[in-house]
Amino acid sequence: MTDQRFDPSRADGHWQHAWEDRQVFVADDASERPRCYVLEMFPYPSGRIHIGHVRNYTMGDVLARYKRLTGHEVLHPMGWDAFGMPAENAAIEKGVHPGEWTRSNIANMKAQLKRLGMAFDWSRELATCDPEYYGHEQAMFIDFYEAGLVYRKESAVNWDPVDQTVLANEQVIDGKGWRSGAPVEKRKLSQWFLKITDFAQELLDGLGTLDKWPEKVRVMQENWIGKSTGLQFSFALSNGESLEVYTTRPDTIFGSSFVAVAPDHPVAQAVAASNCDAAKFIEQCKKGGTTAAELETAEKLGFDTGIGAKHPFTGEYLPVYIANFVLMEYGTGAIMAVPGHDQRDFDFATKYGLPIVRVVAPDAAAADAPLSEAEAGDGVLVNSGFLDGMDVASAKQAVIDRAVGEGWGEGRTVWRLRDWGVSRQRYWGAPIPFIHCDACGVVPVPKDQLPVVLPEDVDISIPGNPLVRHPTWKHVDCPKCGAAAVRETDTLDTFVDSSWYFLRFASQPTDRPFDPEVVKKWMPVDQYIGGIEHAILHLLYARFWTRALARIHQLDVKEPFASLFTQGMVTHETYSRREGDREVFFSPDEVDRSGGGAVLVADGAKVDIGPVIKMSKSKKNTVDPDSIIERYGADSVRWFMLSDSPPERDLPWSAAGIEGCWRFVQRLWRLFGQYDASVQGTDQALDRQVHKTIAAVGEDIEALSFNKAVARIYGLTSAAEKAAPSATRSEAIRTILLLVSPMMPHLAEEAWAAMGQDGLIADAAWPKADPALLVDEEVTIAVQVKGKLRDTLTVAKGLPNADLEALALASEKVQRSLDGAEVRKVIVVPDRLVNIVA
RNA sequence: GCCCCUGUGGCGGAAUUGGUAGACGCGCUCGACUCAAAAUCGAGUUUCUUUGAAGUGCCGGUUCGAGUCCGGCCAGGGGUACCA
């Protein structure tokens, strides 16, 4: 075998072609081997893959290759989440058609992924912008409509009054439109919704079955679904009407000092009809965007309607306000406000001089302790009539019981989860397959006319949805009555596209979205890997879509992802500066960071260094891996992605370190060159380490703890390098090759061939650890005095406690440290430590 | 604002899940080889007032023993329903 350097520029391409020619990674639906579906979240084709993608796909690739070696039939597909806003932005900025831009990005990124040696089954590649794909999606949407899971209602959007267009939340910066700079307003539009709330209980219960999901993701989803039980009751109003409110804290009812309704609540609307000031106030509430963060942090504003609401216990009349912080979408759109025990109510009461009453206190003696902020914690009820002395839970129940008994209210379950609004007033998405007819109303497009194809001849340069102003596309005849009608011009949220792609990967018939029989063979996904930023929305929507299909009997799977791994994000500093009203971002390769500060290479002017945050296209803080692959080869890059950082943790990008990986690749190459199957002799210590490493690396890969596997491989490599030639050493070298093969597949194939082994290493078998060699005969015992380490002892494994104690007390260092003090207690942990308490 | 997470040497991190803190790697320093460089190999590398002591963001608690458990803070990040 050669002792020259490993040359990735030659080897990488050679083996990539070998895998492709032999169709090594094409999954066989009919295979009898145990199946394994490994899936990484498919990328948005932004143009170039970035380091975050490389990290994500390397992890999945190592697992997929490992599973093949352990005898599984592996499905490891890749495709493109190809609809979305950046394509429209590129069209505006560069004058390229979104479709053209997207398709050329896909071609680039596919080539980049191939250069990394990813073991994808490219025969199943799909792009969500293909009419073939979104046509099936439109069919499912119509099925959901017919099953009563789709409806239309009014809902608020961010409206840019200058550009006369709907803005995404990301396009609203400091309350202003990103292009026009005009203050954004809320505007109501009639939009399409999916009834995800029908599945709230199911989605919540399902979390209990997902024991291979990270706890934190389940907690986040549980909080997002937000099941609460409380009291819904009605206030009698001074104008003779009544007002339904919902509260999760009925126990604090005696602390209620005002009532508040949402600006779009019927009571508010009624007041505004006869009161200009109220109408003006409601108008004012329309200022600003629609995000929860914006609504929650906005200054609390209210308008006193002059109406009174009669307190059900005290009979007192509480003032009814219209308040900007009350949401029409949650509960009844009206609240009983308790300033003492809800911070929002506290802020509001402080501003408008309303009473702040304590009704929960740490103990009865603190009943009149002043409140400097709302106290939401547990305690005992005070200043609350018949509730005094009760704890919070009993008081809640007592109030609900009274309300039910007296007939003015009842216990109710309320969910924070809202129905999924899927309408987007945008071009680059799947058209919603419906037709508006004056006579027949909303009519689904007949299935034999699907897909409703997006027209290519559109003008993107003007703000707004080009489908609306397209001269011909939207004009059709009503499928029901034949009269002139118009197509729906809203397109589907791109989260719809990503809610079922994993089913299409498993099965791709032409006449329907998937074949449920084939899907059943592969699903659920055995290991799903993606960014933690998708913990709630994407994962919840995909769970919903799967369950919705199951409910209409099109699928026999409820939870799509059996095991989830959320990798940390690859992060990087941002570079920006203000140009006029706008903040302009620059990419790391446009910036010179060498002088301590940051300077733009193009004009030598300073730019601001922003926080270290997730890499994103909009902040331009991405790093292109291509130059690194070119210089060091795919294996060094892959190894680097797996080393050091635990995969669930964020990885702050730095270029330092890749050199070390390159050196290790060469070090392995030299070691593999020393393989000699003819040498005789055994090396017991090395044999033990070989088998321990086999066991540990297998466990580490299964747990996706690649950084630990890497550290163990370093350890075995060092040991093998130092060992004298023996049959054991040759076996160790061959084992190391197999262990690194999922991580460095090109080097592995090259060395495998050079060693004269049969076939591809991609088709080889993972080594088996001998359990007898995994246990040590000697252990090192820590000897502590009063919890401080004083000595260590090397003893036979399994030595009785009394012997350990005697040995520890005999230690000279222990005696010196005890200094004649009386031994009061000795704690012995077998095979681990002795702690002497004096 | 709210929900979730993270915090350990110069850097990425490890720590058998309550039992020897700093494995392994990067970087750096010194040495070997070389006319020289690259590559490679060897040694060292938490801090300090170094026979010892301190030390895992900060303050406190539980324990024979805390990076790990509990309470309270601080800082950074993710999500917050139209970025994907």
> Following DSSP, what letter does each residue of A706-762 receive, concatenated?
HHHHHHHHHHHHHHHHHSPS-HHHHHHHHHHHHHHTTTSHHHHHHHHHHTT-SS-GG
State the average pLDDT over residues A23-44.
97
For nucleotide B24, give the residue with the nearest CA to its C1': A711
State the average pLDDT over residues A725-749.
96
Q: Which nucleotide shows the minimum CA-to-C1' distance to residue A189?
A: B82
Most confident of A124-133, A376-385, A390-399: A124-133
Q: Which nucleotide shows the minimum CA-to-C1' distance to residue A428?
A: B82
Between CA A792 and C1' B55 the distance (Å) reads 21
pLDDT of A270 above 80: yes
- Per residue in A738-747, pLDDT tens? 999 999 999 9
Q: A287 has which bridge partners?
A: A185
Number of Cβ atoms within 10 Å of the Cβ of A762:
21
Q: Which nucleotide shows the minimum CA-to-C1' distance to residue A718?
A: B24
Between CA A787 and C1' B46 the distance (Å) reads 21
What pTM, to 2 d.p., does this model score? Answer: 0.94
ipTM exceeding cut-off 0.85 for this assembly: yes
Q: Which nucleotide shows the minimum CA-to-C1' distance to residue A829?
A: B19
Domains and CATH numbers, chain A: 227-415 (3.90.740.10), 615-772 (1.10.730.10), 778-837 (3.10.20.590)
- pLDDT category at A596 given cuts 50, 70, 90 is low
Q: Which nucleotide shows the minimum CA-to-C1' distance to residue A343?
A: B1
pLDDT of A305 above 70: yes
State the average pLDDT over residues A688-709.
94
Contacts of A824 (CB under 8 A, 6+ apart): A837, A838
Task: Provide the residue type at A113 as one letter.
Answer: L
For nucleotide B63, give the residue with the nearest CA to its C1': A787
Rounded Cα distance, A523 and A529, in Å: 15
End-to-end CA distance of chain A: 63
Cβ proximity of A81 and A542 under 8 Å? no
Kindly report the average pLDDT of chain A as a whole number: 92
Q: Find, among A645, A523, A566, A560, the residue nearest to A215 by Cα.
A: A566
- Per residue in A604-617, pLDDT tens? 888 877 777 778 77
Between CA A189 and C1' B80 the distance (Å) reads 22
pLDDT of A266 above 90: yes
Cα torsion A803, A804, A807, A812 to 10°: value is: -160
pLDDT of A246 above 60: yes
Window from A307-321, A519-533, A593-607 with minimum mean pLDDT: A593-607
Q: Find, among A212, A149, A112, the residue nearest to A524 by Cα.
A: A212
Cβ proximity of A317 and A308 under 8 Å? yes
Cβ proximity of A184 and A176 under 8 Å? yes
- Per residue in A79-123, pLDDT tens? 999 999 999 999 988 899 999 999 999 999 999 999 999 999 999
Between CA A536 and C1' B45 the distance (Å) reads 44
Cβ proximity of A251 and A322 under 8 Å? no
| The pLDDT of residue A1 | 42
Rounded Cα distance, A666 and A298, in Å: 58
For nucleotide B66, give the residue with the nearest CA to its C1': A787
Between CA A632 and C1' B38 the distance (Å) reads 16
Between CA A215 and C1' B5 the distance (Å) reads 11
| The pLDDT of residue A595 | 61
State the average pLDDT over residues A452-473.
92
Q: Which nucleotide shows the minimum CA-to-C1' distance to residue A495?
A: B84
Between CA A637 and C1' B13 the distance (Å) reads 18
For nucleotide B52, give the residue with the nearest CA to its C1': A817
Between CA A7 and C1' B37 the distance (Å) reads 22
Between CA A834 and C1' B21 the distance (Å) reads 18
| The pLDDT of residue A624 | 80
| The pLDDT of residue A2 | 45
Q: Which nucleotides of B are covered by protein (CB under 7 A)?
A: 1-6, 11-16, 19-21, 23-27, 39-42, 53-54, 64-66, 76-84
Between CA A417 and C1' B2 the distance (Å) reads 14
Count the helices and strands in chain A (H runs, E runs).
Answer: 26, 37
pLDDT of A760 above 50: yes
| A815 to A160, A784, A819, A821: CA distances (angstroms) | 80, 11, 6, 9
| The pLDDT of residue A407 | 94
Token code pair at residue A738 = 């197999």
A617 is in an annotated binding site: yes
Between CA A595 and C1' B49 the distance (Å) reads 37
Q: A837 has which bridge partners?
A: A825
- Per residue in A112-161, pLDDT tens? 999 999 999 999 999 999 999 999 999 999 999 999 999 999 999 999 99
For nucleotide B14, give the residue with the nearest CA to its C1': A708
For nucleotide B25, give the residue with the nearest CA to its C1': A644
Q: Which nucleotide shows the minimum CA-to-C1' distance to residue A571?
A: B77
For nucleotide B82, give the residue with the nearest CA to its C1': A168
- pLDDT category at A816 given cuts 50, 70, 90 is confident
State the average pLDDT over residues A526-546.
96
Q: Which nucleotide shows the minimum CA-to-C1' distance to residue A222?
A: B3
| The pLDDT of residue A573 | 76
pLDDT of A3 above 50: no
Q: Which nucleotide shows the minimum CA-to-C1' distance to residue A168?
A: B82
If you ran DSSP here, which 8-state letter would residue A169 be given? G
For nucleotide B12, give the residue with the nearest CA to its C1': A644
| The pLDDT of residue A798 | 87
